[in-house]
Amino acid sequence: MKFADSPLLSQTVPAWRARFMLGALMLGFAALITRAVYLQGVNNEYYQEKGASRYARTLPLAATRGRISDRYGDMLAVSTPVRSIWAIPDDTKLQPAQVRELARLLDLEVRDLDRKLATDGDFVFIKRQISPELAGRVMALNLPGIHDQPEFRRYYPSGEVAAHLIGFTGAEDHGQEGMELAFDARLTGEAGSRRVIKDRRGAIIEDVEGARQPREGQDIRLSVDAKLQYQAYAALQDAISANHAKAGTVAVLDAKSGEILALVNAPTYNPNNREKLSGAQLRNRAFTDSFEPGSTLKPFTIALALEQGKVRFDTPIQTAPGHLTIGNATISDAHPHGVLSVAEVIQKSSNVGAAKIAGQLTPHDMWNNFDALGFGAPLKLGFPGEVGGRLRPWKFWKPIEQATMSYGHGISVSLMQLAHAYLVFARDGDLVPPTLVRQDGEPVAGTRVYSPQTAREVRAMLEMAVGPGGTAPKAQVPGYRVAGKTGTAHKLEGGVYAHKYVSSFVGFAPVSDPRLLVAVMIDEPSGGMHYGGDVAAPVFSRIMGAALRSLGVPPDAPEPPVLKMAAGTAPAKPAKPAAPPARAALAPKAMPVAALRVPRRPAREPM
């Protein structure tokens, strides 16, 4: 049978199938036409962006980070122009010799460079923040896919001297520590941009949009004096070395304005080379470390008692036999003294005397006094990591805790808190907030803590502590009257007092018109001496003397006589020591007891 006669050919396809297929094809063509119209006429941004990404680039225009200077305009942190080398991995078809030459110029391992060039994506940094000269040598190789761009690198002229104060920035030029972090928003500025067309080799053919200019960062002028900063740094470094101490910190404040003129730490680091740094090296201990202040807190206890009329300057306090038992605990003096006046309690630094005076005060009043001085809460200077110390609520104080807090145990403070609180005695009883930024306007009004009379009386006691018979004769500065207080406290480790010490001294000068305040803390001195008068007071003397002379502050005390002898002349025999002065004569001559406060009631019996 012929194929044409096959019965299969006599069967016809249903008409609906043909119409269905035709309709389906018509709908498909309609959908494609609709999609084409939508993409090319209605919503064409997507493919335009894809196309533009092949030849268009948006180049960032870096904003210059603001400069940081000292109060006189000397630069402490400045940005210098550098270049960064980057690549388009898909375009970098380099020969092995070219890879080796590029790695040699950039001081990279060849395998590290190969790994970067094999990265997925259209952008990778090869090396950042190199000198413009080196970048020019790299670009002179004319390697495909290798490009450079301008950036800025932070440079710190003062290096280790102001490292903890200024801090440093990271690779993206954002602050990581110190003032760089505290003022990062003001220093950073806002980057601009420039849109261009590039060929396949990355060369710019034309600009397609006007450049958006960057907004430069603001400059910051700190309150610190770079010269005083170096003087304090040198003195602290020598003290750390001489006393084989673990660490130390110094703060110098302007007693008139509360401005921080110097702030140094040891050990320190070089912010221009930060490859090997540990967390401990980065801490600004004046803000981030708290310690028990020891006897440096006694003046505040005495000031509160004077303010409330509980004692007078010359009220006798019985401290014999040199120890005091409260509950199951015993408070002791380093040396027994017998009957001491309130002024001599400060001069001799009697724990028993301070505890007995504190026994006349209520825990609530003592807590309010410490709170008004800024203890127990951060100073809110904006410095990263600033701590508030430890001040327990007064309702939970036990009698022994109230007694020990009177001489600086059972409470912790930072050195900056302690230095700030001492301003009340240098400023006639009012307290101004400290600042790290130079104040060019009117001085900020202070908050009244003590009456001027109370502040002057405590100031006289602090001057006695530095004079003959006091705990800190090594704090004296030739030509100037000095007032201050030593502190020596055991360190707490695991809730137990260890045989390790924190030695401190806080003082100001000249007493007749206080201009500068210096606070010193030496952590774990182990050179044979640990008392604040032996370890911290000499550091104060050196810094204060240099600072007063540097600022041209007139002396307010006679210079010690200079003995001159002709060659071969034997020294004269020492004169017979004079009889010890009466108690009333222990007060400084410029501020006799009678001139401080006239007693209105009979002297009390010794306590």
Structure tokens at 46: 């997507």
Question: Among the options 79, 84, 257, 295, which is catalytic?
Answer: 295
3-state secondary structure of 26: helix
Element (H or E) spanning 534, and its range?
helix 532-535
Residue 257 annotated to the active site:
no
Pairing mode, strands 323-326 and 329-332 = antiparallel
Contact in structure between 358 and 405 (CB atoms under 8 Å) = yes
Q: CA neighbours within 13 Å on the CB side: how many for 341?
A: 19
Contact in structure between 326 and 403 (CB atoms under 8 Å) = yes
Pairing mode, strands 316-318 and 339-341 = antiparallel
Q: Count CB atoms within 10 A of the CB of residue 174.
A: 14
Q: What are phi and psi of 278, to 5 degrees?
A: -110, 165
Pairing mode, strands 220-221 and 68-69 = parallel
- How does 64-102 read in b/e, with b if 16+ C-beta sit within 10 Å? bbbbbbbbeeeebbbbeebbbbbbbeebbebeeebbeeb
Residue 407 burial class via C-beta count within 10 angstroms: exposed 0-12, middle 13-18, buried 19 and up = buried
Q: Count CB atoms within 10 A of the CB of residue 194.
A: 17
Contact in structure between 217 and 65 (CB atoms under 8 Å) = yes
Residues in CB range of 42: below 8 A, 6 or more apart: none
Runs of H (alpha helix) within 146-297: 163-166, 178-182, 184-188, 226-242, 279-282, 285-288
Catalytic residues: 295
